[in-house]
Amino acid sequence: MDRFVHSARAMLLTDFVPTSPRYVTEQRRSLDWLIAVHSDAEARAQDFDGVGRALYAAQIARALRRCGCSEDHIHQRGHSFSLDSNPLQDAGTGARMRMYSEIVDAYFAETYSTEREPPDDFVHVTCTGYVSPSGAQKLVAARGWGGATRVTHAYHMGCYAAVPALRIAAGALATGSRRTDIVHTELCSLHLDPRDHALEQLVVHSLFADGLIRYRAIHDRGEPGLRVLAAHERIAPGSEDSMSWAVGDTGMRMTLGRDVPDKIASCLREFVLELLARAGYGLQALSGALVAAHPGGPRIIEVVRAVLELSEGQVAASRAVLREHGNMSSATLPYIWMNMLEDTSVPTGTPIVSLAFGPGLTVCGAVLEKR
């Protein structure tokens, strides 16, 4: 059985507090904006006239219809800037990181503005911004919490980082912390490069969004929340070239191989068996569980559903979060957890099998139980 349940004082996730990005845009308008900014960038590079720009816009539109994430799967996405402007047209990585710092510093100050008691630990999770001191550290300094609060950064893991963050929080609780706050600040939209028209980049540009959420990890003393029963991860063999997230001259750049869904499918069933065993369950428990599958895209949810032979209802929360928010990288799984915790139709005691994927190719999972 997993170390998360070795003690009667297991870890509980509670007090989920989401924050909407400043700008939330319907996906149809977002896709129109992508066509415009990609066409403008190419027109500037090639010195197109109006006709040339219109022809290129039609080409980008066809590509997005073929491979982009449509409004059938995503209704709206959050962004850190207004689509009426394009501050990223010529912005390098330094300028993007300054934007990240300003937004995240303001977020920490606002979301903790009414907190009187400091947490014993912060786990700050992101793969979209690298600034030191971080927004979490600046908050601790500004509030005079430096003698009471430790800050740990869980950076650069991508979409699966919520599960390693649970391990970090469990370690903090095991070494004296009474309350560990996990805070995700993913500003994916700051890394859009409108000059990169590769098909895989159009997929990324049409799928990812900004996500901000915080929640608490505390010792389980019977309060409502999500009890953490187990966690597990592995790197799929022969998959190191399937996905990447690397620093470039214009922010971070993701690469996505066409084989990602197949790589996940090839190891997922065995992985879930191992994960369930760590929580003290057999495969039969899956039929009564909900599955929080990180929606790397609509096809990833379909792969998880097919391989694990799930009903549509078991992955409904994953689809709902993708539809209402897009892929918010590491912040997405906590949004799904919050959805399940707040859903009164999900009974107490329901196991929640959580799955997420990222560079490596890393497959991560956790088993939670609604309390």
Out of 101-105, 159-163, 245-249, 308-312, pick the least confident.
245-249
Residue type, 55: L
| 9 band by pLDDT with thresholds 50, 70 and 90 | low
- The DSSP symbol for 314 reads G
Q: For the chain, which residues make up each domain, given as ranges? A: 223-370
Residue 333: which of 318, 313, 312, 348 has the closest Cα?
318
pTM of the model: 0.95
**Tens-digit pLDDT profile for residues 308-365:** 999 999 999 999 999 999 999 999 999 999 999 999 999 999 999 999 999 999 999 9
pLDDT at 145 over 60: yes
Residue 156: which of 143, 169, 165 has the closest Cα?
165
Residue type, 198: A
Q: What are phi and psi of 183, to 5 degrees?
A: -125, 125
What is the phi-psi region of residue 73: left when phi exceeds 0, alpha when psi lies from -120 to 50, beta otherwise? alpha
The fold for domain 223-370 equals Peroxisomal Thiolase; Chain A, domain 1 (3.40.47)
Tell me the residue ranges of DSSP E strands in the chain: 11-19, 23-26, 76-79, 121-126, 150-155, 179-187, 210-219, 226-235, 243-248, 251-256, 290-293, 351-358, 362-370
**Tens-digit pLDDT profile for residues 78-127:** 998 888 877 777 889 999 999 999 999 999 999 999 999 999 999 999 99
99 sits in which H/E element: helix 93-111
pLDDT at 7 over 70: no
